Structure 1
């Protein structure tokens, strides 16, 4: 997983060459690749952080130390006997259980038999999803302890193209970057090419050296060549960061977000300090936090002769192996949440909720919100869901105005594949949205699969306060647990 991530982030023509060896600098604990690009400069350097890695001397036991004696006796427990005899290895002379067989079965339908060629999470087995999620978590832990020094060449700037203030900030940042280094290429949205406020022609006339280095990106370029960009500079609020996740549906460059919005859960840096922030990030390196994303696929019900169809039977019952009942109709990688709601219908929604091969419940509510840990402070919070640290490997499920007193928000492991569908006997259709975008209608029989995505979202953290950044954000933006301090007693003497 780690190899795939770095191969995707670093363009192929500047990727480190493992065959040329590595050198370790003991003074700054850096791992430098000896490969170089055409200008002889190194594309990336990894700096290991010193804090938090020291251990007590009492915990350092020599490898030759004898194992302490124990008073354990032989056990009749079947599990213990397996561990003693086989050291946890799988026994081949035992039949696989139902749970073991379930680990090797794909969770969702594959009508076109493209499982071998497809990378969709819903077509992976339970074990593959677990391994993938574990690999992402391990990579995230490693990235939290190192500093990445990227050899930045191509800089992607993202801002709202209809906001005059942000257009001015985009022009100011672009001008500063192009002046700072003659090797930088800066990409801005193509709609700014003829924008009066951005004034691209004025920038080029100001300095002829900008020509050929000021470029314009399109949605198609983001989808087809995400490796073209070394880093994303997001100017705006949390919505701008979500927009970058929507633009880069698969591989996402590291996103350094400047706060120019209202709240700022995802925007970590003050725009007023952008010259110092960018200079430090490019010179000293960046620390990246991998945010879990979900992969959501719309599955459409296919016409059949049977007039009395049952969605539960088609997904987990006798018809679950029939791949002709549904077909996929679009997949989205989302950072915040998937919402299935009643849309413009005057009545509440009826939604069947499945987890892997189990029917969880029938939800009768205005809708249901399935949130990532990152999205726990967004719609999930407004619907009454739990706050969740972004490092937690979970899926949050919260009902929206449930027509019952007993539907409490639940938290599930990120290895589950959820399916939320509209039953065939529902009064009305429902509507699904993905990070608030791509709103589509789900007719009776349609459903949405939701699972962990193998394409996480790399968010750049402040080097000085990365460990307490999330607590600071909820305290600052939500005034979490803010109240007047209780006065102390004045003892009478």
Structure 2
């Protein structure tokens, strides 16, 4: 058996009785998008690892032949196995950004262990009669959620290394319709876009059609040709035809970006956010430079960062007046397969956090917390905050949770004013389906909110299911400082680890 002495070795071409051919990746373009790679792609199809089952050859399980044209990889990656590895089958998601890149890697698994078969069980209650149940992440199996989350992370890494050039025709402008300053900025940006290119169609909120500050009539009198290209969007248009828009321009603060996430509950166009608020974790661009920023983005292309979103569904108990029932038994016990105990009552895709709290009640909440098929704990506190990595700098931080880089594949769970000092914040993988429910014998109800909106009451027996969403949020990054953007944001907005530098010793000399 040929071996090497250096830490990095050339990938060997191996031959044995059973040969496993790895998958290959390719890029595809959609939505009239042209993708230009900034680095060289690497072909991994020249490797295969195999094993020989003979007892006499147990000491020499691999025959290694070095390929002079192969790339380099560490020796630890050359792990022999006693059987061919099962191939993966990953389902494509339906996000607009996902349509830019597609991945095909193998066929469905033919054999699976007991643990693997258990992962094919749906974690949450089935949604009988729900017309769009196939889009809900909570109804995926454990394996499907893992594949989906892995696919989104892999896609995000690829998108961070390439520049996407879009043929922009429809520009969506989002700003606070009641802020006088932002209305003036909206009018200024709209007029610049309409004047810049005769092919641009600009969509502004329908409430601005007769707004005196925006003065749509005055804009059309100035140039009647603008009439066919100045459009007005509604919430219904955003929900039903999100593919209409090529890019979203958010004028405001982080709240405006969250509002964009609320408007586009599924497919989200790339969001380019101009900083006009107070903090600005999510707003990456200076509004004063908007002509230069937009010209460069439309001509040279954009780089997109995919932000993980959560899908949260309110599940109502069918008989919450029976206090003898047990929520733990219904969710993970023998009654867990009974789909008639609960019914869905609204689903939300959120960018920051899901909060279950005591609401207007004067006493603390009692909340049962589940992860997949396990009962984690009973939370006795003012509430619990389940945050995305993006939302780690929001309510999660105020409640004492950890700062988390948005590229981390995690779910952050932080208690709000817990009734015990030992309830520390916990970080869980994003492949878990969490459920936070109000037990049947709870003294009071609780309240759930989603990115600070859609606040609903959770009565005894109700719960909220939280899982990684298959519709991430594409945020446009500055081309010049994309690699250090997050560190810059927490240093700028939180004064992270800002202190006077320690003075050096001055040696005494005679």
For normalisation by structure 2, the TM-score amounts to: 0.81
What is the match of residue 141 of structure 1? Answer: 157
Query: 1:39-438 maps to which residues of 2 (within 5 A)?
Result: 43-50=32-39, 73=59, 84-89=81-86, 96-97=113-114, 99-112=115-128, 118-303=134-319, 307-438=323-454
| 1:115 and 1:123 in contact (8 A); partners too | no
| 1:32 and 1:44 in contact (8 A); partners too | no
Q: Distance in 1 between matches of 2:207 and 2:112?
A: 62
Q: Distance in 1 between matches of 2:501 and 2:243?
A: 51
3-state secondary structure, aligned to 2:267: coil
Question: Once the 2 structures are TM-superposed, how far is the Cα of residue 84 of structure 1 from its aligned partner?
Answer: 3.1
Q: Unpaired segments of 5 or more residues in structure 2?
A: 1-26, 51-56, 62-78, 88-108
1:151-195 per-residue CA deviation (whole Å, 9 max, x = no partner) reads 000000000000000000000000000000011000000000000
Q: Distance in 2 between matches of 1:406 and 1:470?
A: 31
| 2:320 and 2:440 in contact (8 A); partners too | no
| 1:332 and 1:434 in contact (8 A); partners too | yes
| 1:194 and 1:200 in contact (8 A); partners too | yes
| 1:111 and 1:324 in contact (8 A); partners too | no
1:234-281 per-residue CA deviation (whole Å, 9 max, x = no partner) reads 000000000000000000000000000000000000000000000000
Q: Distance in 1 between matches of 2:357 and 2:427?
A: 20
What is the match of residue 22 of structure 1? Answer: none
3-state secondary structure, aligned to 2:134: coil
| 2:127 and 2:133 in contact (8 A); partners too | no
Q: Unpaired segments of 5 or more residues in structure 1?
A: 1-30, 36-41, 76-81
3-state secondary structure, aligned to 1:319: helix
Q: Distance in 1 between matches of 2:467 and 2:44?
A: 42
3-state secondary structure, aligned to 1:86: coil
Q: Distance in 2 between matches of 1:119 and 1:329?
A: 15
> 1:54 and 1:316, CA in 2 relative to 1: closer, same or farther beyond 3 A?
closer
Q: Distance in 1 between matches of 2:493 and 2:478?
A: 17
Superposition RMSD in Å: 2.8
> 1:63 and 1:395, CA in 2 relative to 1: closer, same or farther beyond 3 A?
closer
| 2:133 and 2:139 in contact (8 A); partners too | no
Provide runs of 4+ in structure 1 moved above 4 Å. Answer: 60-64, 71-75, 92-95, 113-117, 304-307
Q: Distance in 2 between matches of 1:62 and 1:328?
A: 45
What is the match of residue 3 of structure 2? Answer: none
What is the match of residue 8 of structure 1? Answer: none
1:331-366 per-residue CA deviation (whole Å, 9 max, x = no partner) reads 000000000000000000000000000000000000
| 2:322 and 2:440 in contact (8 A); partners too | no
What is the match of residue 15 of structure 1? Answer: none
Q: Distance in 2 between matches of 1:88 and 1:32?
A: 27
Q: Distance in 1 between matches of 2:335 and 2:474?
A: 40
> 1:208 and 1:32, CA in 2 relative to 1: closer, same or farther beyond 3 A?
farther
Question: Once the 2 structures are TM-superposed, how far is the Cα of residue 303 of structure 1 from its aligned partner?
Answer: 1.9
| 1:32 and 1:45 in contact (8 A); partners too | no
Question: Once the 2 structures are TM-superposed, how far is the Cα of residue 62 of structure 1 from its aligned partner?
Answer: 13
> 1:179 and 1:322, CA in 2 relative to 1: closer, same or farther beyond 3 A?
same
Q: Distance in 2 between matches of 1:257 and 1:305?
A: 47
Q: Distance in 1 between matches of 2:338 and 2:44?
A: 57
Q: Distance in 1 between matches of 2:502 and 2:362?
A: 48
Question: Once the 2 structures are TM-superposed, how far is the Cα of residue 489 of structure 1 from its aligned partner?
Answer: 1.1
Question: Once the 2 structures are TM-superposed, how far is the Cα of residue 96 of structure 1 from its aligned partner?
Answer: 3.4
Q: Distance in 1 between matches of 2:347 and 2:316?
A: 12
| 1:399 and 1:407 in contact (8 A); partners too | yes
Question: Once the 2 structures are TM-superposed, how far is the Cα of residue 100 of structure 1 from its aligned partner?
Answer: 2.3
Give the number of aligned pairs. 439
1:93-112 per-residue CA deviation (whole Å, 9 max, x = no partner) reads 99832x32320100000151
| 2:352 and 2:391 in contact (8 A); partners too | yes
Q: Distance in 2 between matches of 1:258 and 1:116?
A: 34
For normalisation by structure 1, the TM-score amounts to: 0.84
1:376-414 per-residue CA deviation (whole Å, 9 max, x = no partner) reads 000000000000000000000000000000000000000
| 1:108 and 1:123 in contact (8 A); partners too | yes
3-state secondary structure, aligned to 2:488: helix
Question: Once the 2 structures are TM-superposed, how far is the Cα of residue 83 of structure 1 from its aligned partner?
Answer: 5.5
The reply on whether 1:442 has 2:458 as its aligned counterpart is yes
